[in-house]
Amino acid sequence: ANATRDRLRIAIQKSGRLADPARSLLAACGLSWRESRDKLFCYGESLPVDLLLVRDDDIPGLIADGVCDYGIVGRNELDEQANARLEIGLSPAYREVRPLGFGGCRLMLAIPETWEWEGAQQLQGLRIATSYPAILRQWLSARGVEASVVELSGSVEIAPKLDTADLICDLVSSGATLKANQLKPVETLLDSEAVLAGPVRGFNDARADLSAMLLRRMDGVLKLKD
Ligand code: PRT
Ligand code: ZN
């Protein structure tokens, strides 16, 4: 994990919502690449900064294991995996370095439209479907609520209809998906957006200067954006 390297390696989503904006941001920082045939690795040409194209779920772990130095990932994914690591006694091993201003969404509790929202205590004994079990468990325990967390990797919003859960905790942007499933958002657990995630400790090799330059350029690009 602490191997010396003279190139910087950044993990980004291969395809999905964050893939294009992440590449555009890095290109705006002056980076250019030559893609490998399998399209999983992009070799940095203008600077020694390479890209690894992966599932977003893999990004926190790749940084924690030292396989990648930085990653562009949703705060929701980063926090979920940090909480999951804490639950088993591991330190996060990565941190949020910069918010990036795209991929905005909120992790919210949503209940059937016909219910009246009376607060967290109402959740006692209920079943909540989510892809973010660690964040949800943390939120519930901070409020002294015992509910059962039903972990689903996708299609969380149909769980109440299928009666596999009473309500859900899911990402919301426009709210159209909730509406289409007769659900209404009632509490925000997390305000999320894409972030640059990086190591907890600095580098003691060529990556230190590269990293400083990348952050400087990124700050310049982000400032231009707002
Ligand atoms: O394949 P891979 O595992 O890499 O991709 P993925 O399918 O896990 O992720 P992807 O591409 O769907 O999302 C990547 C990141 O985008 C998420 O982790 C969030 O940080 C961010 N993001 C921003 C969102 C949304 N907005 C969003 N709306 N991720 C998911 N959604 C879902 C939402 O849960 C709902 O089901 O999109 C649906 C539509 O949302 P509404 O509210 O506009 O209807
Ligand atoms: Zn994913």
CATH number at residue 114: 3.40.190.10
d(CA 165, CA 204): 49
Answer whether residue 1 is part of any domain: no
Distance 78 CA to ligand 1 centre (A): 14
The domain tally of the chain equals 2
Answer whether residue 2 is part of any domain: no
Mutual orientation of helices 133-142 and 75-87 as an angle, nearest 10°?
Answer: 70
User: Is the domain of 94 the same as that of 13?
Assistant: yes
User: Is the domain of 128 the same as that of 178?
Assistant: yes
What's residue 38's pLDDT?
78
Domain around 145: 105-191
Answer whether residue 3 is part of any domain: no
What's residue 2's pLDDT?
56
User: In 54-105, where does DSSP find H-type helix?
Assistant: 59-64, 75-87
d(CA 194, CA 63): 16
User: Is the domain of 112 the same as that of 218?
Assistant: no
User: Is the domain of 89 the same as that of 124?
Assistant: no
The question of ipTM being above 0.85 is answered as yes
Q: Which of 81, 105, 188, 195 to mutate to test the pocket of ligand 1 (most atoms within 8 A of CB)?
A: 105
Q: Is the CB of 19 under 6 A from ligand 1?
A: no
Atom of ligand 1 nearest to the CA of 76: 20
| Residues pairing with 70 in the sheet | 10
User: Digits of tens for pLDDT over the chain (226 positions)?
Assistant: 457 899 999 999 999 999 999 999 999 999 999 988 778 999 999 999 999 999 999 999 999 999 999 999 999 999 999 999 999 999 989 999 999 999 999 999 999 999 999 999 999 999 999 999 999 999 999 999 999 999 999 999 999 999 999 999 999 999 999 999 999 999 999 999 999 999 999 999 999 999 999 999 999 999 987 7
d(CA 16, CA 4): 32
Shortest CA distance to 11 belongs to which of 60, 52, 57? 52
What's residue 4's pLDDT?
85
